[in-house]
Amino acid sequence: MIPALILIIAYLLGSIPSGLIAGRAFFGIDIREHGSGNLGATNSFRVLGKKAGAFVTAADILKGTAATLIPISLHLQGVVTGIHPLLAGLFAVIGHMFPLFAGFRGGKAVATSAGVLLAYSPLFFLLLATIFVSILLITKYVSVASVSAAVAAFIYAVVHTIYEKDYPFFAVVVALAFFVIYRHRANIVRLRNGTEPKVSSGKSK
């Protein structure tokens, strides 16, 4: 009963539509009707501006972090309960992609996945964040940076599991990497067609 409750709470945390809340509360708009139509951080930056975009990014990261920390903080991450912290984090990411509170139209899993890894392995998070920022500065494409970080996460998970035999870590990281890449399939098509927008200065408000 408790494991199921934790997973439900994790999903509901992930379902909090940060972008939708910020758009409606501060600008009176639904960001799903603007830009790419996505609820995630990138579209929030483009539609709502830097400050709101930073808020949405932080909120989406914290959703994954909070969900992952639930089993840890309650000391329920052992074998008896069957709740691995990363499993709770995975459910938060699913909630972010398919939010109950926003008609199941959510984001692309990048920020919330990052929050999961931040809670579970801060050094791994910093590695991927460095890769993300580096690729973003070089290419100016958020989608390229996101997919590159996902591929790097997959490679790391494979190598890590070979040596550490951490199979839950491998399964969840591979799932998160798949989610990120799959949710960016339209971006990949636009990159091939040369129509993917690059990062711009955007609004400053």
Q: 94: Cβ–Cβ under 8 A, 6 or more apart, which residues?
A: 11, 14
Phi-psi region of 197 (alpha: psi -120 to 50; beta: other; left: phi over 0): beta
Distance of alpha carbon 114 from alpha carbon 21, whole angstroms:
21
CA distance 39 to 56: 9
Residue in 3, 112, 124, 16 with CA at minimum distance from that of residue 65: 112
Amino acid identity for residue 108 in this structure: K
Per-residue pLDDT, 89: 97
Contact partners, residue 36, CB within 8 Å, separation at least 6: 42, 43, 46
Q: Supply the pLDDT for residue 78.
A: 60
Q: And the tokens for 182?
A: 């799959």
Question: How high is the pLDDT of residue 202?
Answer: 46
pLDDT (tens, 9 = 90+) of the chain, 205 residues, equals: 688 899 999 999 999 999 999 999 989 999 989 888 888 888 999 899 989 999 999 999 999 999 999 998 887 766 555 689 999 999 999 999 999 999 898 999 999 999 999 999 999 999 999 999 999 999 999 999 999 999 999 999 999 999 998 999 999 999 999 999 999 999 999 999 999 988 875 444 5
Q: What is the pLDDT of residue 1?
A: 61
| CA dist., res. 68 & res. 116, Å (int) | 6
Residue 40's CB is within 10 A of a number of other CB atoms, namely 27
The pLDDT of residue 81 = 54
| Spatial separation of the C-alpha atoms in residues 143 and 186, rounded to whole Å | 10
